[in-house]
Structure 1
Amino acid sequence: MNILVIEDNKSVCSMLEMFFAKEGIKGEFVNDGLEGYNRFKEGTWDALIVDWMLPGMDGVTICRKIREEKYTVPIIMLTAKDTESDQVLGLEMGADDYVTKPFSPLTLMARIKAVTRRVQTQVVHKTEDFLQTEHFKISKSTREVLVNGKSVTNLTPKEFDLLCYMAEHPKQVFSREQLLERVWGYQFYGDERTVDVHIKRLRKKVEPATQPFFHTVWGVGYKFDESTQADKN
């Protein structure tokens, strides 16, 4: 893997460099936000790790600009901000995941492997590429989505993964914990709002006003169901 890290704390960079070497990961480290954003556009990356607070350009702005420009690279945000509103903001700007400082390098490595694993797996299994439902046509290899014949081009990698997984299991009710484990690839203890944010964004991006697809099952979690007009909230 080739990972770009935009982080101004040199101690954090040194720690990550050591763990990257142990895992056989090639890492490039940039300490300024604007410089890091420009470096991102110059290279090809398997994942991007961005600190929230940076000189030059903050991490949230970097994340937002990357998604506005239709890049689908997985993004993990590092943040010392531990309030729910701050974490939700990072996810809404297009981050696939976040890790709160101080963090264990082993935890971050697990998150990196999780957000990149599904992309790599989908490249390998091209024979199982296509998924079609009543309203959706989804290509796993090209990560293209059509809803009622109209292309949806602004999904983040994790939004695509969540849509694909739930569409493959119509009407099945999943708890937030199950979705975190099966889509993100590990357990987020206490971070169930990650799922809520991604469901909210998918509703905005793929649901017609009169046809909900993602339904809340109170006290349990969510299900994907194209056959009902029931209230999605």
Structure 2
Amino acid sequence: MNILVVEDEPLSRKMLSVLLEGEGFSVTLAESIRAARAVLKNDTPNLIILDVSLPDGDGFTFCRQLVEESNHIPIIMLTSRDTLQDKLTGFKYGADDYIVKPYEFNELIERVKAVLRRSSYVQHHLVQDYIKVGDLELNVGELKIKLRGNQVIQLTPTEMKILSCLMSNVGIVLKRSRIAEIALGYEYGGASNVVDVYIRRLRKKLEIDPNQPQYIETVIGSGYRMCKPSDLKQAAG
């Protein structure tokens, strides 16, 4: 598997290359967004490790651009910014995981492997092109959901991952940690709070009254559940 490392600091770039190649990965290096673009014109890596602070732009914006271009390569953000807001920004723009510098080598390798496993699983087993639950129709490829017959709402990649996870397990209570593992990343610190934030955002987009949700139910002490169509009809009645 080939990993594209976008990092402007030469020592960090070299260290990542040695570390990843030692685990059997093929590594392509880029020191800027422009260099990364040149690589992506001719190659499609299995994963991108993307520094946030780059000489010709910021990694958050580049990540968002790749997602908007329907580029489905998983992305791990690598940065010294460690606030919850920075992490939420990374996930909002489509990152699959977020690693804060300085990091433990073993942790980085495990996160890389986890993102690759999750990406492969989603592509081949979990995510369908369309998922329908009641009057919700999720178009995974286009990051759109149609609700109540005609309203179409655009989702961010992370919102899509969380919603597809819930809709693929309708009626089943999913723990926050499980949702975080599937949608956000391997043992992501603070993932429980991040999941709650995204659930609130999804409710604002989907629910008529976000304070009285009919689609995504909170199961106190456990997690969240996508209501069955029969439950939705009873609630509507």
Please indicate, yes or no, whether the TM-score normalized by the shorter chain is above 0.5.
Answer: yes
| Cα deviation code 1:155-184 (max 9, x no counterpart) | 52x544432322232233333223223555
* Pair member with larger Rg: 2
The answer for the alignment partner of 1:221 in structure 2 is: 223
Question: Are the aligned partners of 2:92 and 2:156 in contact in 1 as well (CA < 8 Å)?
Answer: no
Instruction: Report the secondary structure of 2:73's partner residue.
Output: coil
**8 Å CA contact 1:115, 1:184 repeated in 2:** no
1:173-212 matched pairs, under 5 angstroms = 173-184=173-184, 186-200=186-200, 202-203=202-203, 207=206, 209=208, 212=214
- Contact 2:143–2:156 (Cα < 8 Å) also in 1: no
Quote the Cα distance in structure 2 between the aligned partners of 1:201 and 1:28. 36
Report SS of the residue matched to 1:192: helix
Query: 1:209, CA displacement in angstroms?
Result: 4.1
Unaligned runs of 5+ in 2: none
Q: Which moved more, 1:73-82 or 1:217-226?
A: 217-226
Q: Distance in 1 between matches of 2:129 and 2:66?
A: 26
1:106-134: CA deviation from partner (whole Å, max 9, x where unpaired): 212222222221332345449x9875432
2:180–2:191 contact (8 Å) kept in structure 1: no
Number of residue pairs matched by the alignment: 227
- CA distance in 1: counterparts of 2:115 and 2:42, whole angstroms: 22
Q: Which amino acid aligns with 1:7?
A: E
- Unaligned 5+ runs, structure 1: none
Task: Give the letter for the 1:99 counterpart.
Answer: I
The residue type paired with residue 36 of structure 1 is A
Three-state SS of the structure 1 residue aligned to 2:72 is coil
SS in structure 1 opposite 2:18?
helix
Asked whether the equivalents of residues 33 and 57 of structure 1 are also in contact (C-alpha less than 8 Å), the reply is: yes
Aligned-residue Cα RMSD (Å) equals 3.4
1:54 aligns with 2:18: no
**Is the 1:4–1:40 Cα contact (8 Å) retained in structure 2?**
no
